[in-house]
Amino acid sequence: MSRKIQFTVSITFSEKVTDDQDILDIAKNIARAIKNEAVEGNGITTDFTDAFTKEIEVTPQFLDETITLKVI
C-alpha cells in the first residue's frame, strides 16, 4: 500500500454551488476540517498504526487547483 491514499467524497448541499471561487473556498474548508481532526481531534489514522497524517490535498472536481495543507 502507498503512503498516499486517495478517497472519493461526495457532499450534497441544499442549493446549487456553481461559482469556482465558492467551490475553492469549500475545498479549503474541507481541508481545514480534516487537518483540525488530525491535529486537535482523534486523528485520521486508526489506533492500530504508528502512521500519522503529514499532508492533506483537496482537489475540487472539474477545477485545476488543489488545496494543500501540511500537518505538523
**Ramachandran angles phi, psi of 49, nearest 5°:** -140, 155
* Largest Cα span, the chain: 41
Q: Residue 1 above 80 pLDDT? A: no
- The string of pLDDT tens digits covering residues 15-69 is 999 999 999 999 999 999 999 999 998 888 888 888 999 999 999 999 999 999 9
Q: What is the pTM of this model?
A: 0.88
pLDDT for the residue 53: 93
Q: What is the pLDDT of residue 47?
A: 87
The residues near 59 (Cβ < 8 Å, ≥ 6 apart) are 27, 65, 66, 67
